[in-house]
Every structure is written in C-alpha cells, then in structure tokens.
Amino acid sequence: MTIMTYPVFFLSFFLLYGKGWRHVDKTGPEGNIDAFLQYGQDAVLVIGNGRLLRSWDINVGGLNWEVVLDSGSFQSACLVGQQNTVKQVAVLKKAAISLHYLSNGHQKWIENLPDSETVDYQTVYSGGNGEVYVLGVVPHSHITVVAYSVEDGEIIKQYLVEAPWLSNLQVSCTVVSQGVLTCIDSATVSLYTLDLHAQSQMTQMPLQTLGLELAPGFHPTLVSSQPNPSHPPLSEFLLQLGPDHYLLLQLMHLNFLYCQAMLVTFVTTGDKTVAAVMSPKNRTVKFNEQLVNLFSVETGRRLLDTTLIFNIDPNGGKPEKLFVQAFLKKDDSVGYRVMVQTEDHTLTFLQQPGRVIWTREEALSDVVTMEMVDLPLTGTQAELEGEFGKKADGLMSMVLKRLSSQFVLLQAWISHLWKLFYDARKPRSQVKNEVTIENLSRDEFNLQKMMVMVTASGKLFGIDSNTGSILWRHNLDNIPANAAFKLMVQRTTAHFPHPPQCTLLIKDKDTGLATLHVFNPIFGKKSHITPPALTQPILQSLILPLMDQDYAKVLLLVDDQYKVSAFPSTKNVLQQLQEMASSIFFFLIDSSQGRLSGYRLRTDLSTELIWEVIVPPEVQRIVSVKGKRPNEHVHSQGRVMGDRSVLYKYLNPNLLAVVTESTDTHQERSFIAILLIDGVTGRIFHEAVQRKARGPVHVVHSENWVVYEYWSTKSRRNEFSVIELYEGMELYNSTVFSSLDRPHAPQVLQQSYIFPSSISTMEATLTEKGITSRHLLIGLSSGGILSLPKMFLDPRRPEIVSEQIREENLIPYAPELLIRTEWFINYNQTVSRVRGIYTAPSGLESTCLVVAYGLDIYQTRVYPSKQFDVLKDDYDYMLISSVLFALFFATMISKRLAEVKLLNRAWR
C-alpha cells in the first residue's frame, strides 16, 4: 500500500495490484495539498494553505476526521511521539504552532510564536523526548530555536544561534541523530552542525578536509531518515554533492560511504534500516540498465543477493524518485520491491530480479490537447488503394496486378474464415482480441480511431479508442516548464502510401521560441522529415487547406517580425502560396494591449497589416477567442419556418467570437462582452454586453451560433446565452461565401437561460456531413458529462405559442434549462476535473465520438439524432429475407401459372 500526493489530489493503491482509491479535492489553491504525513493506518494531510487538517484511513479510503485550522499561512508539520507511540501531530504556521491528537483531531494546545514578525519559522521537529522544537531563521543573521513542552505547550527554552550564511532552513538543513541540526552551505562548501539540546554554537566543518568536492553549479542537499517519529532520526544521513554523486555519512565518526548513484533512498523494515541505491550497470552504456542494490546503513556494505535490474524505457525519461517497499523474509534477510518514478511521470513497480509488476502512466492525468486520427487500412485494402494510386503502365501488367490483388484479397478472406472457425470452437473467454500496433486497422464504420494525446509533461501517447490501451508512448526531451502545445494533423491516413503525419508545435510561453516535433500518429515514430529550425519567437500558426505534392497540408508560422515561413517549404508549396497569397488572411491577438489585428500575406511571404481593432485593456480584457472548426460541415443552409418560407443561416467560416471580461470585478459593475468579428475584414458584426456577470466564460462557436456560459453576479447563478445569426429571407450570394463581399450585416437573435449547475468545459458534437442535429456536451463540475440538445438553446423559442410556431417544432420558452438524468452520457462513471472535451466524426453520420479528458479519460459515442442509419440489434433478418424469397417465388409461380392460363385460353 502506498500513497501518492499530487497538488490537487491524492491516491492510494495496493502495490501488488496497482489499483486503489483516490480523493479529489476542490479546484484552485483551496484544494492544494500542503503536507502529507503517514503513521500506521492513518494519513494526515494539511490542505489549502493550512486551512484544513484531515486524517484518512489508508486501507479503505475513509475520512477519519477533519478539523478546520486557525488562519495563517502554513509552514510545516510533523508527527509527535513519545514512548514508542505517536499520539499527536504538530502544525506550524506563520505565527503559531498547534498540537492535535492523531486519534480525533482535537487541538491539544496552540501557542503563539515569539517575534513572529521578524523571525521566519520554517521547520518543526520532534525526537520523541517530550519536546517539540520550532526552528526559525532570520535570513543572513541567526537561527531561532524554541522548544515547547508536548504536555502543555509551555516554552522550555528559547535561544539564538549565529548563522549569517543561512537563508532557508528547509532547503539546506535537516535534523539527524539525537537532535543535531545539520546544514550544508554551498558558498563555503562546508557542513555545519548544532546540537539542539546543548545550546551551543554551530561547528563548521569544510568538506575539503574530508577530501570532497562539490559539482560546479549544484546545490547540495541533505536527506535524513526518521523511521519512527517517537524516536530520534538515524545518525546516518545522505549528502548529495552532484547530479549523480551521493554520500552516506555517519555523524559521530564522519566516516562515509562513497557512491556513484542516480538515486538513493532510506528503507526501514522492522528495526532494520538500509539504503537502496540505484546506479547504472555500466557507465559506458547509456543509462539503459540500472541496478538497484541494498546497502547496510551501519557498515556501508552491500547486502548480498539484493540486486534488482531496472530497464529504462527508451521512450520514457530518466528515473527521478525511488520508493522501496522492504519486508523481512522468513530467514530474516531483507526482501524488497521497488517503485520507480521517472521524469515522464511513469510509475513502475518491480520485484527482484527485475520483473515489472505494473506500470502507471500518471502523465495522462494532465492531457493538454489531443487529436483523433483514422486508423490505416489493412494491408490488403492498402494494396488495392495502391493499385489505383499508381500510374498505369500497360494493359497486361494492370491485369496481372489486378489478379494478384484479387488473389491477396481471397487469401485474406479465407484466412479470416479459418480464424472464425477456429475461434468458434474455443470457449468465448479464451478468445483474445488484443489490439496491438501490428493488427491495427480501420473498421467498417471508422468508429475505432487512434487518440493522440499530448500531456503537460511533454509525453505523447497513442491510445486505441475502443479499448483504451496505450499503443505507443513517446517522451519529448527539453520541454520548457510552461510550454504551450498545439497539435495539428498535416496528413491523414487517406493518402497511402504516404504515412500519416502529425506536427506538434511546442512553444515556450515566456520567450515565444518554438520547436516542431513531426511524427507518425499511428506508430508514434518521429518522422524522418526534419522540421525547420525556428530561431524567432512564433506569434501564430495556421494550417492551410493547401497541400504539397505529398498531400501534406501546409503549416504557416508567423514570427515576431511578421515574416511567414511554411512547412513543408518545397518549391511546389511556395509557388502555390504565391498564387494564393492575396486570399490568405490571418489575425493576431495581443490580449495585454487588447489589440486584434488582421494581416494579409504578400507574395514574398511578408505580411501587411490590413485592419486593427483595439479593445481598451483598462476597461476589459480579452479572455477567449473562438473560431469555427475547419472540419465542420453544415448540411442545411437555412431553417424552414411555419409559413414554408426559409430563414437562411449566416454561415461565415471566418467569424470569430471574442469574449472579454471587465477589469472591474465589483459585482455591480462587472460585465462580460461578446464581439462577433470577421477574421478577414475585422468588421464587428455584433457586440453584446452581459451586465452584472463575470467569468469564467465557456464558449462554443459552430454553424451560425455561439453559446456561452457565465456567472451572473446579480442572481448568483450560472446562465447560458445563445446568439444565432441569420442572413434573412434571401441569400446574398448562394454559391460562394466571401467575407470581402457581404455588405449586409446578419440579423442577430439572442436568448438566455438559467443553468442549475456549474460547468467545467463545453463542446459541440460533430458529425461527418452535419445532417444529424447538434448537441452540446457539457462537463459538469460534479463529474458528469451532459449531452444537452441544441434545440433547447434556440433564440427563436417563443414566449407565446402560435399555430405557425407549432408547425416549426419549436419548444416554448422556459427560463430554466433542466438537467435530465438520461442526458448524462457517462452514467455512473464520474470523470473528475474535466479539462476538455474532444469530438470527432465517425464514418456513420449518426455517430459522434467523444473524448473527455481531465484527471480521467473517458471515451464514448453519442447519437444526437438516435441511430437513424443503423439497423437495430434485434432486426429480424430472417423474417425479411424469408418474406423476400417467398414473394420472389410467389411471383415466379404466379407468372408461370399466368402463362399456362393464357396458353389454355388461347387454345380454347
């Protein structure tokens, strides 16, 4: 059993199975976990900057107790024990220390800290002798030590120690042995020790006297181990002097065990403590194989038969942390299992001699963006496609090729039949239909796809949408900490024999510098195409519908000099770009200055500013800009009204919905505004202001409508608003749409509704041809995903129902949108913290594929207009075909009879 904590949630799992329980706390800083302590079956957590103290039972995940702490920013916490039992937990805040019982959370005492304005109290320590030490520091001056009695909170002693070199206790100090504060100073490269009981001065010991050197630029750290809070820590401690340079030191004699290791950690089982050391097997081989060994702490000798081999995944990262579960075998030797956390947030649990029990990809809890890519055709289908793709070379060879491909098809069919026959004999449970990267192929209706997921840590995953199994993973190196990702599909699987191609744009938000990673989305392999090196910060990227001769869509990148570079940038592409230049427009948004500007491409790949809109940033700031999805199809151009006339939709593919929030957050004056701007001409069609409202605003923009959700500060509730745009009763130009030639502004209709729940994200369904009616997929904060028919969000919903409106099938207006339980598409499977919903069309018009990602990933299919193009499961094929045959034979017989009758009549 182990517990992992994350900033927002923690989970516990049984090590042998890799499964357990999880608790997710509130969003935002209120739910952050500050400290985590474990003793026996209890896990004690401090949550929300010292707001709450909670104790959980780690076996079942039940809450033991919860207490609200006094206000004050949290500093540190520790368990306090006496005479072999741990009864209290001490919580140190900025100005006070409190002691709580571990059994029920009740406060034993709380004391204000002396001189808390000047002294920065940072650490609390207890060695099990009835005293609690609070250590504070005045940076570059001295350390303050205050000892409290556990019984009544009385100050036993209080003194100052000179330490002009020290600035942070938590970073550079630790307590070892019988209350000896040990610190490391990187400036003088020396070790300082202070006996907390003795009230003496610090003794300095330069590391050079021990013959040790510090790796340049490395900040040394100290790690100690306190196996039981009711006893003082061990007198042995670890000193890290370089990225892979650890020392095991003993305080009394300062003898040391020198080891070259990647990771070292202490392990305690029973009363034995050992050090687990991970080191590369062979220095010359590139870190691929790591060995884990146990060393005795007292002697520094390696324990025999304790080697464990850990193979580093070449697509993963370097090991970052080592957790060891040790147990005593029957013969009193130490057996152990290891959990390794690598840089790509993978947890691997191994046992001797290196067998992997399970792996968990924790990076998947932070998916940033994703795409769904069609699977390739099977080998035989591809063969057929290839036949038509190639150029004709003579009649004879074409015939031969056709024959050979037909033969291949026949072969595949026979082997398929054989497999069916073979499987049918086996019991059903034994038939394994495991999806591997080799047998991936598109199904009949293109329902199974490859989900390419990009995580915040820079690890890419390829997941099969049907089974959810991870088919490939790839860890990207050198990802900046605050990177922004944009994933684009440059070439789909439709262009055999060219492999599909995805491009990931990774941009450092601080510097604006970007890199491109080009890969095959089906196999995850890095493409052999070398992307251009981007030396300038990138402002904007856009995928054009243009294709090069290899069917890869052209990616345009705009740098901060407003120069445009294309990828791929072959001659063919550049020529096409030159021809198309005057019709390629793009926009840039600088939200800090409130500037929206439009640019046009010139033939020499420079750009010119053509329009500018400036929203004053003193009054409102731009929070989101939504365009339409490029792969969206709209089937019907208009809506048929009750009197059989047609109201045409305003379908401008260049329309942008810009949402701004007021900088004034007072609830009476705050507002949100929505601007509808043409991205080509910069023309503002509509500007609506929702007063007494504030964000977060969630927007969906599709077809001729924009739906947004906001918080109404006046009524203190969530509200939805829908804007629909109509061209009117006649179309201006029914054949083509050009933003440059639409002089009339569209008609704007708007209506608002009350929504009874807060939401975390929103997206619209998407289908192949856009015939199916649309639904809105709403991720609720409760973990449900709601499929709300767009029909309910229609500004033409009438207040008063008339005959004509009834004809049109409009629902009468009701101010509240109800949540019907049958609209939840995930039933009882909660999806925590939904961050985004991705929708993709499938081969069936009725079906839309949905992926919701947050802490969990959930994939399903939705049928907004029911399955109108699929026969039901209980469709009676037998009846229909027998009726058909019977009718056929009946006609045959009756025809024959009629003929006979005619003949007979003729003879008469």
Partner 1 sequence: MDAPIFQLKFLVVFIVSFIVFVNFVYCNNGGRHGDSLDTELSGFSVPLEHSFEVDDVAKFSVRGALVLKGGREPTVSLSQNQLSEEDRIKLKEVAAVDGLYRIRVPRVFLQGDRQTEQQMEGYLTSFVRACAMVESHLSDAITLTTDVSGYLIGISIVTLPGACRGTEVEDEVDLEVFNTTLRVMAPVNAPGPETALFLERMEQELEKKAKNPQEQKSFFAKYWYLILGGAIFLMVTNSAQPPAGGGREQS
Q: Is the CB of 74 or the CB of 586 nearer to partner 1?
A: 586
Q: Does 822 bind partner 1 (CB under 8 A)?
A: yes
Residues across the chain: 908
β-strand partners of 454 = 369, 460
Residue from 70, 213, 590, 687 binding partner 1 (CB under 8 A): 687
Q: CB of 53 within 8 A of CB of 89?
A: yes
Q: Does 689 bind partner 1 (CB under 8 A)?
A: yes
* Half-sphere exposure for 445 (CA within 13 Å, toward CB): 15
Q: Does 751 bind partner 1 (CB under 8 A)?
A: yes
**String marking each residue 610-639 x if it binds partner 1 according to CB under 8 A:** xxxxxxx--xx-------------------
Candidates 56-64, 321-329, 352-360, 685-693: pick the segment binding partner 1 (CB under 8 A): 685-693
Rounded to the nearest 10°, the torsion over CA 403, 409, 413, 418 is 80
Q: CB of 137 within 8 A of CB of 166?
A: yes
| Residue 14 neighbours by CB under 8 Å, 6+ apart | 1, 20
> Which of these, 678, 827, 700, lies nearest to 759 by C-alpha position?
700
Distance CA 772, CA 790 (A): 11
> Which of these, 213, 293, 275, 189, lies nearest to 238 by C-alpha position?
275
Q: Does 189 bind partner 1 (CB under 8 A)?
A: no
Rg (CA), the chain: 34
| Residue 171 neighbours by CB under 8 Å, 6+ apart | 219, 221
Candidates 151-159, 294-302, 329-337, 738-746: pick the segment binding partner 1 (CB under 8 A): 738-746
Q: Does 323 bind partner 1 (CB under 8 A)?
A: no
Q: How far is the CB of 751 from partner 1 (least distance, A)?
A: 7
Q: Is the CB of 192 or the CB of 671 nearer to partner 1?
A: 671
Give the residue carrying structure tokens 């949540």. Answer: 819
Q: Does 659 bind partner 1 (CB under 8 A)?
A: no
Q: Does 139 bind partner 1 (CB under 8 A)?
A: no
In 497-606, at which residue ranges do the beta strands (DSSP E only) sit?
Answer: 501-508, 514-519, 538-547, 553-559, 564-567, 585-590, 595-601
Between the CA of residue 99 and those of 56, 111, 128, 154, what are the distances in Å? Answer: 18, 9, 14, 12
Candidates 216-224, 372-380, 518-526, 869-877: pick the segment binding partner 1 (CB under 8 A): 869-877
Q: Does 578 bind partner 1 (CB under 8 A)?
A: no
Distance CA 461, CA 368 (A): 12
Q: Does 671 bind partner 1 (CB under 8 A)?
A: yes
Distance CA 468, CA 454 (A): 15
Candidates 153-161, 353-361, 533-541, 745-753: pick the segment binding partner 1 (CB under 8 A): 745-753
| Residue 712 neighbours by CB under 8 Å, 6+ apart | 690, 692, 693, 718, 719
Hey, what are 478's tokens? 């050198």
Total site size for partner 1, rule CB under 8 A: 57
Q: How far is the CB of 875 from partner 1 (least distance, A)?
A: 10
Q: How far is the CB of 563 from partner 1 (least distance, A)?
A: 17
Candidates 124-132, 376-384, 668-676, 832-840: pick the segment binding partner 1 (CB under 8 A): 668-676
Name which of residues 496 to 525 contact partner 1 (CB under 8 A).
none
Residue from 290, 576, 721, 760 binding partner 1 (CB under 8 A): 721
Q: CB of 700 within 8 A of CB of 621?
A: no
Q: Is the CB of 483 or the CB of 673 nearer to partner 1?
A: 673
Q: Does 883 bind partner 1 (CB under 8 A)?
A: no
Q: How far is the CB of 884 from partner 1 (least distance, A)?
A: 21
Q: Does 683 bind partner 1 (CB under 8 A)?
A: yes
Region of residue 782 (phi > 0: left; psi between -120 and 50: alpha; otherwise: beta):
alpha
Name which of residues 232 to 271 contact partner 1 (CB under 8 A).
none
Name which of residues 844 to 863 contact partner 1 (CB under 8 A).
863
Distance CA 725, CA 654 (A): 13
Q: How far is the CB of 691 from partner 1 (least distance, A)?
A: 7
> Which of these, 455, 485, 460, 479, lies nearest to 470 by C-alpha position?
460
Q: Does 350 bind partner 1 (CB under 8 A)?
A: no
Distance CA 733, CA 752 (A): 31
> Which of these, 581, 582, 557, 579, lies nearest to 568 by C-alpha position?
557
Residue from 741, 803, 809, 904 binding partner 1 (CB under 8 A): 741
Rounded to the nearest 10°, the torsion over CA 268, 270, 274, 278 is -50
Residue from 304, 444, 815, 877 binding partner 1 (CB under 8 A): 815
Q: Is the CB of 85 or the CB of 606 nearer to partner 1?
A: 606
Residue from 754, 771, 805, 819 binding partner 1 (CB under 8 A): 754
Q: Is the CB of 57 or the CB of 816 nearer to partner 1?
A: 816
Q: Is the CB of 266 or the CB of 671 nearer to partner 1?
A: 671
Q: Does 813 bind partner 1 (CB under 8 A)?
A: yes
Q: Is the CB of 582 or the CB of 734 nearer to partner 1?
A: 582
β-strand partners of 397 = none
Distance CA 89, CA 66 (A): 13
Name which of residues 540 to 569 contact partner 1 (CB under 8 A).
none
Residue from 237, 295, 519, 753 binding partner 1 (CB under 8 A): 753
Candidates 90-98, 301-309, 321-329, 807-815: pick the segment binding partner 1 (CB under 8 A): 807-815
Q: How far is the CB of 708 from partner 1 (least distance, A)?
A: 10
Distance CA 195, CA 415 (A): 79
Q: How far is the CB of 608 from partner 1 (least distance, A)?
A: 6
**String marking each residue 761-800 x if it binds partner 1 according to CB under 8 A:** --------------------------------------xx
The amino acid at residue 578 is Q
β-strand partners of 192 = 183, 204
Candidates 48-56, 231-239, 545-553, 813-821: pick the segment binding partner 1 (CB under 8 A): 813-821
Residue-wise DSSP of 15-62: TTTTEEEEEE--SSGGG-EEEEEEETTEEEEEETTTTEEEEEETTT--
Q: How far is the CB of 870 from partner 1 (least distance, A)?
A: 8
Q: How far is the CB of 894 from partner 1 (least distance, A)?
A: 30
Q: How far is the CB of 640 from partner 1 (least distance, A)?
A: 25
Name which of residues 357 to 376 contact partner 1 (CB under 8 A).
none
Q: In 3-state terms, what secondary structure has residue 706?
A: strand
Q: How far is the CB of 680 from partner 1 (least distance, A)?
A: 10
Q: Cα angle at 726 between 586 and 798, to 5 degrees?
A: 140
Q: Does 758 bind partner 1 (CB under 8 A)?
A: no
Candidates 141-149, 187-195, 252-260, 689-697: pick the segment binding partner 1 (CB under 8 A): 689-697
Q: Does 880 bind partner 1 (CB under 8 A)?
A: no
Residue from 712, 765, 767, 839 binding partner 1 (CB under 8 A): 712
Q: Does 814 bind partner 1 (CB under 8 A)?
A: yes
Q: How far is the CB of 837 from partner 1 (least distance, A)?
A: 17
Q: CB of 683 within 8 A of CB of 740?
A: no
Distance CA 386, CA 181 (A): 74
Note the residues at the interface with partner 1 (CB under 8 A): 582, 602, 608-616, 619-620, 662, 671, 673-674, 677, 681-684, 686-691, 712, 715, 719, 721, 733, 740-743, 748, 750-754, 799-800, 813-816, 822, 825, 863, 866-867, 872-874
